Chains A and B, each alone.
Chain A
Amino acid sequence: MDVDEQANKIKSWARKHAERRGIQLNPDEERVDEVAKGLAARQEKFGKRYCPCRIITGDADEDRKIICPCVYHEEELKEHGMCHCKLFVTKEQ
């Protein structure tokens, strides 16, 4: 599977995740495409869907926290209305 195909797969997964959690994907489609491509590139390189704006430490326990949807995203949605990568946003955005 190439990166574009993988990115499309990630986008449909992310859309479903957002629906289940009562949030939404960023209405800025270009942004969603960029993040999905970043996630796909990391999945290809590291085998996991690591957030493209977070740093992989090499410590498996720490790095598990930054697999999208990362452990930080719910708190960030509450505080800022969006996650750090700006893939997920609240419905109010």
Chain B
Amino acid sequence: MNLKSSKRYVAVVAVLCLLCVGMSGCASISSGGYEFKSGITPPTVVGNLMQNKTVILFITQNNCPDCEQARPLIASLQSQYNGTNVTFVNFNIDNNTTSQNVAKAYGVTATPTTVVLRKDGSAAIFVGVFDPSTVKSAIDDARSTY
């Protein structure tokens, strides 16, 4: 194989690799600074909530200062979506094993973690005190999938 055909071969392989990555559906990156990750099976309790509703999970625990700091931000977002098909659910992992299982399913290691779910179950995950406008963009993005 001469140099010219080698270069062509490398270029073709590179284009094929890029196409494979693009079509794999592992993750779709939004221009809004968040990413919806697929491949997570929603736990039953979450799946049940997702019947024609955009679901936002707010995962917290006791004695977590950032959870308290983020609580009014969630309340404010919640009030902005009053009367819509957006549902906000707080899972406090200190309260029950259901909440612990939800946290585990989404790979939560720190709190607060806010999870915005699209209809297909893909999830945008925000760890810590979030930027409300970024989370709002993710919610609007998720709503558009219904």
Contact = CB atoms under 8 A, between A and B. Distances in A.
Partners in one complex: yes
Interface centre among A35, A37, A53 (most CB of B within 10 A): A53
A15 interface: no
Interface string B77-121: 000000000000000010000000001000011111000000000
Interface of A: 31, 34-35, 37-38, 41-42, 52-55, 84-86
A34 B14 CA distance: 52
Contacts of B68: 34
A60 B94 CA distance: 18
User: Closest 5 interchain pairs by CB?
Assistant: A38-B63, A34-B65, A41-B63, A52-B63, A54-B110
Contact of B93 (A34, A38, A52, A55): A55
Interface residues of B, number: 16
Contacts of A38: 63-65
A71 B111 CA distance: 17
B61 interface: yes
Given A54-B110, A55-B108, A85-B66, 5 more contacts: A38-B65, A52-B61, A52-B65, A53-B67, A53-B110
A42 B63 contact: yes
A41 to B, nearest CB: 5
A55 B103 contact: yes
B65 A31 contact: yes
A11 to B, nearest CB: 14
A86 B61 CA distance: 17
Contacts of B61: 52, 55
